[in-house]
Amino acid sequence: MEKEIMNDVKKYQKLEKLKKWRDEVEPIPYYFDGLENLCERIHPEKQLLQITDIQELSKDTKLFRFVSARYDKPLAPFRAGQYIGLNVEINGVRTSRPFSLVSSPNQLAYYELGVKRKEGGFVSIYLLDTLKVGDILEATEPLGELYYNRVFHGKDLVFIAGGSGITPFISLLRDISQRNLGLNIWLLFGCLSEDHILFKDELEDLVTRRSNIRVQYILSEPGPNWDGACGFITKDKILDQIKLVENKFFYIVGNRAMYSFIKEQMKELGVPPHRIIYESYGVPDDVTGITGWPKDITSSNAIKITIELIQQGKCIKKVIEAPCVEPLLNTLEREKELGISINNGCRSGACALCRTKLVSGKIFTLPEVTIREIDQDYGYIHPCVSYPLTDIHIDLTLI
């Protein structure tokens, strides 16, 4: 009996020694404290990304490759189709823009983003003209609802992309192909001309290797040698490819003008809204042309915005003047000396991260944006897609 006890004590001492040695030499695994660190791993508040590669995809689009700038913080996992927000400071203005992840979610050594120059744009031009290999940028965690959902989307997927709206589909196609998901895919890709077809080599390669993936390019301004489809992505062109609408699920990504056009085509095809997901890139260039914009309000109308905010622990009020045709979020970010920082992700009315209290005044919200009923009842707005129509008063002490 005594011998057995001694054996147990010896075993225990050995284990203790081993544990001490492990504690000294082994790093603490990220799941060590259960969910807390795992949550930070999946939903980091921010990520620091370092550019390792820049490649020209077309005359006006570049592919940026980023690795984590922190060796102890791997890149957050994502679902194919999601985006990250890139936070930048340009001439003292702190702002951000969302960009869809192009890279495959099946590897997290790097992220890739494809950025297209927007004429008259702010952030896209800054990214394309100033970023170089080695630069470090701050980004959000991966966000967005445009991803494949096995339960609701079924097996027949129609991807409709306009211009740079191809980026999330490249990630989706890489994922579908790498994991051999057995889905039927029809990609209709609308571009201006042959030179604007991004990722053409990769798409051609996929089509030859995978019989379940079909790609149709549709050019609105083709060159003389183009013998493929021309014009816009109309209901006839969609039907010509997919034959039947039944049991298909539609993903639409492009600028707002393209989305509004395709939405009408979907209605005419009889596609029920619950079988469509979409992402529309950016705000309209001219909001006064959007359905519902009041005819008597022109771009020259200047608006007074009263802002309540907390500075150095004190609640203060500031009044600024702003044009009515700029999204309120952009206007507030322009006020550098106020140092206003409103959380944001999609900047297109979808994620609700920028929710802000409107105390008084009238705003115009882009038509396809839905604001939760409870937010509407309590006067919360999405400043990323809100335009002041009258003098307004907002309360930023609540964010």
Ligand X SMILES: Cc1cc2nc3c(=O)[nH]c(=O)nc-3n(C[C@H](O)[C@H](O)[C@H](O)COP(=O)(O)OP(=O)(O)OC[C@H]3O[C@@H](n4cnc5c(N)ncnc54)[C@H](O)[C@@H]3O)c2cc1C
CB of 340 to ligand X, least distance (A): 12
Alpha-carbon distance of 80 to 73, in angstroms, equals 21
Which of 124, 140 has the CB closer to ligand X?
Answer: 124
Cα–Cα dist 334/121, whole Å: 14
Stretch touching ligand FES by CB under 6 A, among 250-258, 268-276, 318-326, 343-351: 343-351
Which range of residues in 125-133, 266-274, 350-358, 360-368 is near ligand FES by CB under 6 A? 350-358
Interaction partner, residue 99 (ligand FES, ligand X, none; CB < 5-8 Å by kind)? ligand X
- Which of 309, 302, 353, 311 has its CA nearest to residue 331? 302
Judged by CB under 6 A, which of 47, 87, 140, 164 binds ligand X?
Answer: 164
Q: Closer to ligand FES at the Cβ: 97 or 237?
A: 97
Of the residues 66, 99, 148, 159, which one makes contact with ligand X according to CB under 6 A: 99
Q: Name the segment binding ligand X (CB under 6 A); options: 36-44, 116-124, 204-212, 297-305.
A: 116-124
Is residue 358 involved in binding ligand FES (CB under 6 A)?
no
Q: Quick one: 84 or 229, whose CB is closer to ligand X?
A: 84
Stretch that binds ligand X, among 45-53, 229-237, 301-309, 342-350 (CB under 6 A): 342-350
Q: How far apart are CA 194 and CA 214, in angstroms?
A: 18
Q: How far is the CB of 43 from ligand FES (least distance, A)?
A: 16
Helix 167-178 vs helix 200-209: angle between axes, to the nearest 10 degrees? 30
Residue 114 in contact with ligand X, rule: CB under 6 A: yes
Binding mask 359-398 for ligand FES (x = CB under 6 A): -----------------------x-x--------------
Min CB(387)–ligand X separation in Å: 11
Contacts of 98 (CB under 8 A, 6+ apart): 83, 84, 85, 86, 143, 144, 345, 346, 347, 348
For tokens 């609308």, name the residue. Answer: 190
Near ligand X by CB under 6 A: residue from 122, 210, 263, 308: 122
* Binder of ligand FES out of 328, 347, 392, 396 (CB under 6 A): 347
**Of the two residues 144 and 190, which places its CB atom closer to ligand X in the complex?**
144
Tokens 């702003």, located at residue:
322
CA dist 379 and 386 (Å) reads 13
- The binder of 380, among ligand FES, ligand X, none, by C-beta within 5 to 8 A per type, is none
Residue with smaller CB distance to ligand X, 87 or 124: 124
User: At closest approach, how far in Å is the CB of 289 from ligand X?
Assistant: 14
If one asks whether residue 323 binds ligand X (CB under 6 A), the answer comes out as no
Cβ of residue 81: shortest distance to ligand FES, in angstroms? Answer: 16
Examine residue 352 and tell whether it contacts ligand FES (CB under 6 A).
yes
The nearer residue to ligand X, 100 or 265, going by C-beta atoms, is 100
Q: Give 339: exposed, middle or buried? Use CB within 10 Å, 0-12, 13-18, 19+.
A: exposed
Judge residue 199's burial from the number of C-beta atoms within 10 Å of its C-beta, 0-12 exposed, 13-18 middle, 19 or more buried: buried
Residue 244 C-beta: closest distance to ligand X, Å: 30
Residue 100 interacts with, from ligand FES, ligand X, none (CB under 5-8 Å by kind): ligand X
Return the residue matching tokens 């297109």: 348
CA 389/CA 15 separation, integer angstroms: 72
Task: Mention every residue, 6+ apart, whose C-beta is less than 8 A from residue 284.
Answer: 256, 257, 290, 366
Kindly give, in sequence order, each residue whose CB lies less than 8 Å from that of residue 396, ignoring residues fewer than 6 positions away: 307, 308, 309, 310, 340, 342, 356, 357
Which amino acid would we find at residue 179? R
Locus of tokens 């823009």: 97
Q: Closest approach of Cβ 368 to ligand FES, in Å? A: 12
- How many other CB atoms are there within 10 angstroms of residue 226's CB atom? 13
Q: Is residue 308 a contact partner of residue 397, using CB atoms and an 8 Å limit?
A: yes
Distance between CA atoms of residues 64 and 66, nearest Å: 6
Chain contacts with ligand X (rule: CB under 6 A): 83, 93, 97-100, 114-116, 118, 121-125, 144, 164, 167, 279, 281-282, 326, 330, 333-334, 346-348
Chain contacts with ligand FES (rule: CB under 6 A): 344-347, 349-354, 382, 384
